[in-house]
Amino acid sequence: MMKQMARFFSSILLILALATPQAHARVVRVAQWGQDSGYCGAANDPCRTINQAIENAAPGSTIRVGPGIYGDTDGDGRIFSPGEESRPCGGWASIVCVDKKNLKLESTMGAANTVINGTGSTSTGVAIRADGVSFGKKGKGFTVRNATRGVLLDADRITVRNIRAEDNTAFGFYGEQSPGQGHYVLIGNSAVRDHQGFYFRATQNEPYVTRFSENRSIDNDSFGARLFLRSAVTVEKNVLLNNESGIILKAGGGAVVKNNLAVGNTDIGFSVAKWGKRGSVSLIGNSAARNGSFGFHLTGIDKFQGNVSTNNDEGLYCLTVKMQIVKNSITGNGSYGITVDRNGPGAAGIVLEKNNIYGNGWDSGNNCGLRNDMGGAISVRKNFWGDPAGPGADPADNTCGSPVTAVSPLKKPIKVKVKTPVF
């Protein structure tokens, strides 16, 4: 009798296990050969669409997507063909809607082989509207293309990694902060041929984008990256290539901009401004070359060290009262090498020393390595001006504007080594 009862209850448990929806699985799988159902997602029964996998998944699950094209699979601008998908997402028309907390979405064969295709100008590619979501992983990302906004972030604690957003009509990556949102980490992503590459705008005081590293922004019509952040952020090892402007950053105290590269942008390479008066903002080890206007345009920045600016229209423009400009190489820029300009009252506290400042002013003919617009004399120490004797006529760079006292000029150039990424 006991054995019969045990067999009976074992049968009941087996039936319940088979009837349990895939929502209780920790891994839900998607493949182009799959079939959507309320139970799909197992290795031998994958879902066909990413949205169905999200619906079946429990919060905290991992969704693994096989290679292929998802969304508008045939590229006709409509979602009518078998296996195609779209889903409204909190007021956003989207191809994929991620609306469950702590999901992890990753591909099995990387971004080049896993494409989420939009319908042109009428949809967001991937809308993330749940906290704690991770979209992509090193070597396991996605390509999101042909949407208005490629990837939309609209929640808290989101990580986006190894995602390629290309040919989107408005933004590659987009977010505007709402209360309680932020703590975004973007690593190793690419924005290519979008209108704007990366756009994030803070409207609250809590942290928003906290890390922006190893991203690529290439051939975008407007900004490569435009980040308006009220708090600190680490911006490191990014490449901004052939956009209208490279990176436009406004950040709070504690922000660090380090080892980034801006090349061939038709306007500014780096435009960085400090938000508020607390803390410091530093630029260290960055490189700007062949940008159409400024290599670096800085407002209220505290420290500029170990950077290289060459062959831009103007190398470095600083709107400041107090700033350290130390151990940089500002050479071969068409108009001015460095401009220091006043943006507030009080005594100027410019520390400008141990820099290379030569070969500038070749296009304008002014031969001006340093333009002093502070409204009073400043003293600069131990810089190399292209000649051991200090500022003057070619081959040295001269100074212009208000007086400059060039104390103890260096006899030879200093070595400046940047560790910017290759492209």
Looking at residue 276, what is its pLDDT? 86
Looking at residue 25, what is its pLDDT? 56
- 174 plus 279 within the same structural domain: no
Residue 14 maps to a domain: no
> What residues are paired with 368 via a beta bridge?
398
The whole-model pTM stands at 0.92
Give the pair of three-digit tokens for residue 250.
Answer: 């406004």
Residue 84 maps to a domain: yes
- Hunting for tokens 């400043």 — which residue is that? 378
> What residues are paired with 92 via a beta bridge?
89
- 162 plus 264 within the same structural domain: no
Q: Are 191 and 178 in contact (CB under 8 A)?
A: no
- 170 plus 236 within the same structural domain: no
For residue 368, give the 3-state DSSP assignment.
strand
Looking at residue 206, what is its pLDDT? 86
Residue 370 maps to a domain: yes
DSSP string, 332-355: S-SS-SEEEEE-SSS--EEEEES-
Looking at residue 1, what is its pLDDT? 45
Domain boundary among 179, 198, 217: 179
Residue 221 maps to a domain: no
Q: How many CB atoms lie within 10 A of CB 98?
A: 27
- 172 plus 258 within the same structural domain: no
Looking at residue 422, what is its pLDDT? 78
- 166 plus 236 within the same structural domain: no
CA distance 394 to 313: 19
Residue 307 maps to a domain: yes
- 41 plus 136 within the same structural domain: yes
Looking at residue 122, what is its pLDDT? 76
- 165 plus 273 within the same structural domain: no
The domain tally of the chain equals: 2
CA distance 171 to 186: 15
Residue 70 maps to a domain: yes
Domain boundary among 138, 161, 179: 179
Residue 39 maps to a domain: yes
CA distance 336 to 358: 10
- 248 plus 174 within the same structural domain: no
Judging by DSSP bridges, how do beta strands 209-213 and 234-236 pair with one another?
Answer: parallel
- 241 plus 137 within the same structural domain: no
Helix ranges restricted to H, 110-226 = none
CA distance 386 to 393: 10
Looking at residue 109, what is its pLDDT? 98
Domain boundary among 149, 179, 209: 179
> What residues are paired with 296 via a beta bridge?
270, 316
- 242 plus 384 within the same structural domain: yes
Q: Are 157 and 80 in contact (CB under 8 A)?
A: no
- 166 plus 268 within the same structural domain: no
Looking at residue 346, what is its pLDDT? 76
* Per-residue pLDDT tens listing for the chain (423 residues): 444 444 544 444 444 444 444 445 599 999 999 999 999 999 999 999 999 999 999 999 999 999 999 999 999 999 999 999 999 998 889 999 999 999 999 999 999 999 999 998 778 999 999 999 999 999 999 999 999 999 999 999 999 999 999 999 999 999 999 999 999 999 999 999 999 999 999 998 889 999 999 999 999 999 999 999 999 999 999 999 999 999 999 999 999 999 999 999 999 999 999 998 888 999 999 999 999 999 999 999 999 999 999 999 999 999 999 999 999 999 999 999 999 999 888 778 899 999 999 999 999 999 999 999 999 999 999 999 999 999 999 999 999 999 999 999 999 999 999 999 876
- 241 plus 135 within the same structural domain: no
Q: Which domain covers residue 168, as residue numbers?
A: 24-179
CA distance 172 to 355: 37
Residue 18 maps to a domain: no
